[in-house]
Structure 1
Amino acid sequence: MAGEKKFASQADLAEKKVTFERLSEHAYAYTAEGDPNTGIVIGDDAVLVADTQATPVMAQDVIRRIREVTDKPIKYILLTHYHAVRVLGASAYGAQQIIASQDTYDLIVERGEQDMKSEIERFPRLFNAVESVPGLTWPTLTFKGEMTLWLGKLEVKIMQLGRGHTKGDTVLWLPQDKVMLSGDLVEYGATPYCGDAYYQDWPATLDALAAFNPEKLVPGRGAALKTSHQVADGIAGTRAFVSELFNQVKLGAAAGKDLNEIYKLTYAALKPKFGDWVIFDHCMPFDVTRAFDEATQYRDPRIWTAQRDKEMWETLES
């Protein structure tokens, strides 16, 4: 863990290969080797896009691929949570409604501006053509608990199953197709980002998600999961990472160790099992810092700013 490690993902400049694949009669997955995923639902009369890519220019590639399979209007955007890399491309789609949980809306009010500046600093490659972003993305329709959208005869269930990756996490479920879009509640071969997480709630939220017995699932990052076995594997892997990391940090905090020492011990403990997952080195400082906060004195995640990011990085990585 040398001091010259570049801040966050600023050394990550290699372009990723995009895959656009059909998962069921109505669901498609837009994935890119561990970059943030987009899910697409094509109903009888309209299209819904879940998570928009980070900028309107990047969203054009999603739109181009949608247009290869349908000419139906893109009427709905779903924000699975508030993170900038998920929401700032929304303006490109010209949707009639931008749907989010009320908790997600509240987080945008509280910390959307700081989060946007923080994430743009962390992920230069993911914010390609950041000048095309017109500002924060504001939901036009919010819900509490769950809502149902009908795209003609296609039932689309939009639900908050509990807190995990953020307070506002939202999943989309297609009962007819047995397909789930999980947002960052589930990752596959990609390290969960837990800087805004509720570690103690996340495993139970995964249990609630698994109870639907999805046959296919689009995770927040990583390849689309196309069998029940792969779905179970993705859920189990995410649960293992979150649980093992929080347990390590709790033990260190209970023993009176400081954040620096806990970070080094936790990194060493998780590296053999999870070190080859995408963005492991990027996520770990944020993940351990949030775990330390939750294990000690902060039930709710503190706001990340570009300044706080850099101070944390220097403290843990130098």
Structure 2
Amino acid sequence: MSASARRDPAAAPDTARLVEVRPGTQAWVQPDGSWWINNAGAVVGDGAVLVVDTCATAERTSRFLSAVDRATDGAPVRLAVNTHQHGDHTYGNSLLPTATVLLGHEAMREGLRVDPVIDGCPPFWAPVPDWGPVQRRLPDVAVTAATTVHVGGRAVQLRHPGGPAHTTGDLIAWLPDERVLFAGDLVFAGLTPLVFMGSVPGALAAVDWLAALDPEVVVPGHGPVLTGGDVDRVLDEHRRYYRLVLALGEQGLAAGRTPLETARDADLGEFGAWADAERLVLNLHRVYADRGGRAFDLMAALGDAVAWLGGPMATSV
């Protein structure tokens, strides 16, 4: 199998839109949600704004911040939070106003500090992304477990799932009064979840942790906003997918097969049509590393994902 190296017009930057999920709460939804194309958001209270995440490129982040500015009549962005370290949620940080106070988990802060990809993306994707004029901007405030920030009279709880999940430094932004959850990449709606820098059992446990909040609206890190029965449906899909990955990992380890060999013979079943299916290889590398008590080899995992796919991974960023 091979990925197309051509950008999908349906995923162009100008297809992104602000969606008001509650009065004063906006989701920035970027189709099609595949590699490097994330969701973000904004919470408005008493003439001030909290931004949830930025975007991978200067162009996409500028569109997002301009849309927020128009929707809020120019209210200042006082606060911002990064849900985790990955560049699609953080590389645009430097476009935030200088006065904005940026928050992130302490592990997220360290991960972005040492991330080399912001300086130049390796050719595992096609086209190779160009971030534009961005600079590494780290959180001003490091969160360890949980904290509550206030945007005017509105409380926004920033919570860590208690261990590695999508990454080691995940945060959610939870609005308890409105029952709105900005889940970051603990939730992928309709496309393949990625946990290669976290933990598959941890990501599985985080699904139950999120469900216990009983959110009415979920803004996933990628994919459409979820409401009603779609919330439980997507969380159940995550449970089944993570259990499949764990089962495949155990079978591969028992048979003495590599993650790539295991992935090549895997039947993805209901998940086979999801975008970015090659993430199975990356997730299996995480299972193997954790079961073997060894360090995760990022470059080897990415190389195997490309080998499984038969060419570079596709992106429209």
Structure 2 CA distance for aligned equivalents of residues 67 and 155 of structure 1: 21
**Residue 289 of structure 2 is aligned to residue 293 of structure 1:** yes
Q: String of CA shifts for 1:103-148, please: whole Å, max 9, x gaps.
A: 2112234x412x43575644566945x23112x2211111111011
Map 1:88-99 onto structure 2 (within 5 A).
88-94=91-97, 95-99=99-103
Distance 1:311 1:221, change over 3 A: closer
Structure 1 CA distance for aligned equivalents of residues 209 and 305 of structure 2: 34
2:57 corresponds in structure 1 to 55
Q: Percent identity between the aligned chains?
A: 23
Count residues with an aligned counterpart. Answer: 300
Q: String of CA shifts for 1:22-60, please: whole Å, max 9, x gaps.
A: 101232111122231112111223111112011222111
Q: What SS does the corresponding residue of 2:59 show, helix, strand or coil?
A: helix
Structure 2 CA distance for aligned equivalents of residues 75 and 122 of structure 1: 36
Please tell me whether the aligned partners of residues 23 and 226 of structure 1 are also in contact (alpha carbons under 8 angstroms): no
Q: TM-score, normalised by structure 2?
A: 0.86
Structure 1 segments unaligned to the other structure (5+ residues): none
Give 1:169 shift. 0.7
2:314 corresponds in structure 1 to none
Please tell me whether the aligned partners of residues 83 and 116 of structure 1 are also in contact (alpha carbons under 8 angstroms): no
Structure 2 segments unaligned to the other structure (5+ residues): 311-317
Map 1:205-284 onto structure 2 (within 5 A).
205-227=206-228, 229-266=229-266, 269-270=267-268, 272-281=269-278, 283-284=279-280
2:167 corresponds in structure 1 to 166
Please tell me the residue identity of whatever aligns with 2:82.
L
Structure 1 CA distance for aligned equivalents of residues 59 and 110 of structure 2: 27
Q: String of CA shifts for 1:194-213, please: whole Å, max 9, x gaps.
A: 22120121111221111110
Q: TM-score, normalised by structure 1?
A: 0.86
Q: Which has the higher contact order (CA 8 A, sep 6+)?
A: 2
Q: String of CA shifts for 1:224-282, please: whole Å, max 9, x gaps.
A: 0122x21112221122212211211112212222333212123xx11x3112222223x
Structure 2 CA distance for aligned equivalents of residues 264 and 174 of structure 1: 42
Q: What SS does the corresponding residue of 1:132 show, helix, strand or coil?
A: coil
Worse-superposed segment, 116-125 or 190-199: 116-125
Please tell me whether the aligned partners of residues 84 and 119 of structure 1 are also in contact (alpha carbons under 8 angstroms): no
**Residue 101 of structure 2 is aligned to residue 103 of structure 1:** no
Structure 2 CA distance for aligned equivalents of residues 123 and 261 of structure 1: 21
Worse-superposed segment, 308-317 or 246-255: 308-317
Please tell me whether the aligned partners of residues 187 and 235 of structure 1 are also in contact (alpha carbons under 8 angstroms): no
Q: String of CA shifts for 1:60-104, please: whole Å, max 9, x gaps.
A: 111222123212111222111101121001111215211101121
Please tell me whether the aligned partners of residues 54 and 86 of structure 1 are also in contact (alpha carbons under 8 angstroms): yes
